[in-house]
Amino acid sequence: MSDDNFRKALSDALTTYYETSIPYIEEHDFSPDFDKKMEKLINRRKKPYFKMINTMSKKVACVAGVFLIASSVTIMSVDALRNRMADLFVKQSKDHSIIRYEGNDISPSSIEDIYEITYDLSGFEVIGNECNDFRRFTAYAKDDTAIYFEQYVKEFYDVNVNTEDAELSTITINGHEAIYFLNNRQYYHLIWDNGDYIMLLSTNISKDALIDIAESVKKVEK
């Protein structure tokens, strides 16, 4: 028997075997919890850093890199940060940090109230806007300056941020402790829990402008 005939015969035999041995599974309705988790995974794919690891070669490099950076990964335990931000868990490595919510207080399970920047943004243009049940994102731009604002449901807040060469500290925004840092791209960042939602704000204008804009974030009518 030739190689071509052998491969065809083998393929026909395996096809028949799988069709008769694998049971038919009827369509299944997934639970609301499963749907929420899938929504979270889809949102992660939209993150800018996802594009950096979505090729096979880079995934392999990332796996290898885990072993190289494992010894450099630390959990933030500085009293000034860890105690005041008790509900935000920070795991920092040399070039990034993972920040996620680990509290157990009662908070909305979806975006029920809308928060927006009320600071005067005359001259800025909205260049991006996304909204779903668990996250709101708005991007503003003016010449070479930009402002990014996000509102997260606490349960689904789990974000990878660029903190390479950055020093994390805390400042107070409207009575709430916020994580503050300046990244190596010269963007100023604030992350805080306003009691109901997790807020993220970043801009390349200045630290003072960042604070003023953050303190202007208010609940607005839908």
Classify 103 as helix, strand or coil. coil
What's residue 6's pLDDT? 61
Segments forming the whole domain that contains residue 53 = 32-220
Q: Is residue 12 part of a domain?
A: no
Residue 163 forms part of a structural domain:
yes
Share of residues in the chain with pLDDT > 70 (%): 61
Highest mean pLDDT out of 15-19, 37-41, 158-162, 214-218: 214-218
What is the number of domains present in the chain? 1
Torsional class of 175: left (φ above 0), alpha (ψ -120 to 50), beta (otherwise): left
Phi, psi of 22 (to 5 degrees): -90, 120
In a domain, 182, yes or no: yes
Distances (CA, A) of 41 to 14, 54, 142, 146: 35, 14, 31, 26
SS3 102: coil
Taking Cα atoms as reference points, which of 36, 24, 69, 67 lies closest to residue 164? 69
Residue 20, in any domain of the structure: no
Q: Is 63 domain-assigned? A: yes
Structure tokens at 99: 């920040």
Instruction: Specify the pTM.
Output: 0.63
Express each pLDDT in 104-113 by its tens digit: 778 999 999 9
pLDDT tens string 1-49? 666 666 666 566 555 544 444 444 444 455 665 666 667 666 655 554 4
Q: Which of 70, 42, 49, 44 is nearest to 163 (CA)?
A: 49
Within-domain flag for 2: no
pLDDT-derived band at 99 (thresholds 50, 70, 90) equals confident
**DSSP helix/strand/coil, 174:** coil
Report the alpha-carbon distance of residue 166 to residue 94 in Å, rounded.
9
